Amino acid sequence: MKTLFEAQKIDGVKYPQYEVEVLCANCEDPVSEEEKSTGTCTNCNQPWDEKQNLAIWVTSTPAAGAKSWGT
């Protein structure tokens, strides 16, 4: 199961976009809503312990007046 959180700016602080993927810690198969409700992985038939993968999108903003590549 993957959940995407959009980038946002709160009180002047920028938070990047990120995605959290929930996996079965036993077999690393993505956990579905059904598996989450039953507590059993349908891939390995074991009670799943949560494991998370995190992906963060990072962008940079050049400082005011700074030159960027190609300019």
Domain boundaries, the chain: 2-56
Question: In which band, very low, low, confident or very high, does the pLDDT at 29 lie, cut at 50, 70 and 90?
Answer: very high
Name the pLDDT band for 12 (thresholds 50, 70, 90).
confident
**Structure confidence by residue, pLDDT tens digits, 60-71:** 666 666 666 655
Bridge partner residues of 20 (DSSP): 3, 54
Query: Which residue, chain included where needed, has tokens 């992906």?
Result: 55
Q: Report pTM.
A: 0.67
From CA 34, how far away is CA 45, in angstroms rounded?
A: 13
Q: Are 4 and 22 in contact (CB under 8 A)?
A: no
- Tell me the percentage of the chain whose pLDDT exceeds 70: 83
Distances (CA, A) of 71 to 31, 40, 58, 62, 67: 46, 55, 22, 12, 6
